Chain A
Amino acid sequence: MRDRTLKYLLVAPAVFVVGATAVWPLAESLRLSMHAGRLSRPDFPQGFVGAEQYAWAFLEQPAFWNSVGVTAAFTFVTVALTTLLALCFALLLARGGRFRSGVQSLLILPFAMSPALIGVSFRFMFNPEFGLFDAFLGRLIPGAADINWLADPTMAFWVVVIADVWGWIPFLTLVLIGGLASIPRETQEAAEIDGAPAWKVFRDVTLPQLLPVLAVVIILKAIFSLKTFDLVFMLTNGGPGDATQTLSHYVYFNGFKYAEFGYASAVAWLMVIPMMVLTYFYARFVFDRA
């Protein structure tokens, strides 16, 4: 068989699978978003309402805006914290040698825990009666032991943030270590010889060369933060109240607790837009390097 035909045949199954399992549902979701209807109604879907549900979200649903706010705050804080901490740890670990390599291997372990598992674990550890962190922090900061972490809206938000940051630091650290390793050592040594102290070597030579990888890290983490569901579901289930209800959770709630399929789809599709923007930038990095 000629290569010309073969190559399309080789690609076809994958394209079919991706099309059927991802592209079609996306399109279908868009269609759903333009119909109002409840799951329980026998004549579902009910009727074409165009963009009404989108408008409804924007104009009449404070809960929607709450979720937007929670998601935005969550994304911003987790991206900043995780990136900063991961950069510090990457700098500490990048130097090589048996000790550091061993530690790098250990970094895989936290990552093999799924977000759901992390959510449960942190709920366990912040339990006000027998949680490990509750006891630990209670001993460090007076009065902290009295806080019911997951019952207080602000505290609950921060617990979710901490859990998320904890879960993603190992992965981002590994990525940044890889990025640091790809910087030619000669450029850093040249700066040392030219007269730069260690912090200037970092600022003038290492950091500028690390920027592409940093950008990848930030975009990736932003995408993952926007998508967060498992962690929130297991840790706080959106609560207390809706203090930690990210957009994903909001969609889930409306779709499966209130059975508002159309509305949920509409909100879900609203999430797709920032995703696509981020994906565009991410793809640029992937293809630039390829």
Chain B
Amino acid sequence: MIGGRARRRLLEAGQVVAILAFIAIMLVPILWIALAAFKRHVDVYQLKLVFTPTFENFARVFAEPYDLGTKLFNSTIVATVTVLIAIPIATAAAYAFSRFRLRGQTLLLVVILATQFVPAVVIVLPFFLMFRDLGLLDTLTGLVIVNLAIVMPFAVWMIKGFIDGIPVDTEEAALVDGSSRLQVIRNIVLPMAAPGLVTAGIFCFIIAWNEFLFALILTSREAVTLPIGLALFKAEEGDLWNLMAAAGIIIMVPMFVLALLIRRHFVQGMTMGAVR
């Protein structure tokens, strides 16, 4: 029977090995794709690990006919505008939900929560028809509208969570001192909630950036976003994995950076407060 201390060391070493294996499984696919982006097609086909890297793929995806540059532009605009609209609206509502008691508040919050769980396919059809009649198909405006639908519940719940965490005392002191409610919101709550607003904004940006189904259905040529650009490579079966990998990197890397920025609040955001 191995002595207590030696046994503990052995267990610890075993755990470290398991963790490393887990991380390897998680990261190897990402690294492999990243590598493929720098390979010439021949190297991809031959499964080479050591190869001479090239930036040619990136140049090609930005050129015709793939025109990733336009798609990158579209994605950025759509995500940014969505966030710029969603955050102020969500903040106002979140503040009200947090500090006041409204009639039917629970119901409203549940409805907002529920819309996050509605499959996109259910509401994409009505949107398609409506956009067709309004001439909003294949427009960035249309995309912003549908992305608002997706991000709002996250935004409201995340920001509400942040505001809940700010003690009420400072606001009450200001109200007693003579501030109006709106002044309190502007001068006290917003500065204190700023980190939370930024986090929620980044979170919603990531969601809008990666949004797929709506962009697939509601765009065709002008307003195509990056993820759909990826799908366009797919049409040319088999030959262009290196290009697809390059496009994949362009999609992924900004999201990695943003995700790292908000990693501490990630769980809270995604579960909307069900888990702290």
Direct touch of chains A and B (CB < 8 A):
yes
For residue A19, which residue of chain B has the nearest CB?
B111
How many chain A residues sit at the interface, stated as a range, is 35 or more
For residue B113, which residue of chain A has the nearest CB?
A283
Judge whether A275 is part of the interface by a CB distance below 8 angstroms.
Answer: yes
In the complex, how many angstroms separate the beta carbon of A269 from the nearest chain B beta carbon?
A: 7
In the complex, how many angstroms separate the beta carbon of A7 from the nearest chain B beta carbon?
A: 4
Question: Could you count the A-B residue pairs with CB atoms below 8 Å apart for me: how many are there?
Answer: 270
In the complex, how many angstroms separate the beta carbon of A251 from the nearest chain B beta carbon?
A: 4
Complex Cα gap A51–B100 (Å): 42
Task: Give 1 or 0 for each of B179-215: 1 = CB within 8 Å of chain A CB.
Answer: 0111000000000000000000000001001101100
Chain B contacts with A in 119-135, Cβ cutoff 8 A = 119-127, 129-130
Given A21-B146, A283-B113: A26 touches B123 (CB 8 Å cut-off): yes
Given A213-B275, A278-B117: A14 touches B156 (CB 8 Å cut-off): yes
Complex Cα gap A269–B111 (Å): 17
Judge whether A178 is part of the interface by a CB distance below 8 angstroms.
Answer: yes
Task: Give 1 or 0 for each of B93-105: 1 = CB within 8 Å of chain A CB.
Answer: 1011100101000
**Which residues on B sit within 8 Å (CB–CB) of A111?**
259, 266
Judge whether A187 is part of the interface by a CB distance below 8 angstroms.
Answer: no
In the complex, how many angstroms separate the beta carbon of A5 from the nearest chain B beta carbon?
A: 10
Contact call B123/A106, Cβ cutoff below 8 A? no
Q: Which of A6, A100, A108 contacts B263 (CB 8 A)?
A: A108
Judge whether A93 is part of the interface by a CB distance below 8 angstroms.
Answer: yes
Given A10-B96, A111-B259, A213-B275: A117 touches B248 (CB 8 Å cut-off): yes
Contact call B263/A105, Cβ cutoff below 8 A? yes
Interface with A: B41-49, B50-58, B60-68, which one? Answer: B41-49
**Which residues on A sit within 8 Å (CB–CB) of B77?**
none
Q: Which of A120, A171, A226 contacts B234 (CB 8 A)?
A: A120
Judge whether B13 is part of the interface by a CB distance below 8 angstroms.
Answer: no
**Which residues on A sit within 8 Å (CB–CB) of B164?**
290
Complex Cα gap A135–B121 (Å): 36
Q: Which of B47, B248, B267 contacts A175 (CB 8 A)?
A: B267
Task: Give 1 or 0 for each of A90-114: 1 = CB within 8 Å of chain B CB.
Answer: 0011000001100101111111111
Contact call B22/A92, Cβ cutoff below 8 A? yes
Contact call A275/B119, Cβ cutoff below 8 A? yes
Contact call B122/A268, Cβ cutoff below 8 A? yes
Given A13-B92, A116-B231: A285 touches B274 (CB 8 Å cut-off): yes
27 contacts between A and B (CB under 8 A): A1-B180, A7-B96, A11-B96, A18-B111, A18-B112, A21-B149, A25-B122, A28-B126, A28-B130, A92-B15, A109-B27, A117-B248, A130-B47, A166-B25, A182-B276, A213-B275, A220-B274, A229-B120, A230-B213, A233-B231, A255-B124, A264-B121, A272-B118, A272-B119, A279-B117, A283-B110, A286-B273
8 closest residue pairs by CB, A with B: A114-B210, A21-B149, A14-B93, A25-B123, A28-B126, A22-B115, A10-B96, A112-B259
In the complex, besides A103-B23, A132-B29, A174-B266, 12 extra interface pairs with C-beta distance below 8 angstroms are: A26-B122, A28-B126, A109-B30, A114-B251, A116-B231, A125-B29, A175-B270, A230-B213, A251-B119, A251-B122, A264-B125, A289-B274
Residues of A that sit less than 8 Å from B by CB: 1, 3, 6-8, 10-11, 13-15, 17-18, 21-26, 28-29, 32, 89, 92-93, 99-100, 103, 105-117, 120-122, 124-125, 127, 129-130, 132, 135, 166, 169-171, 174-175, 178-179, 182, 213, 216, 220, 223, 226-227, 229-230, 233-234, 248, 251-252, 255-256, 261, 264-265, 268-269, 271-272, 275-276, 278-279, 282-283, 285-287, 289-290
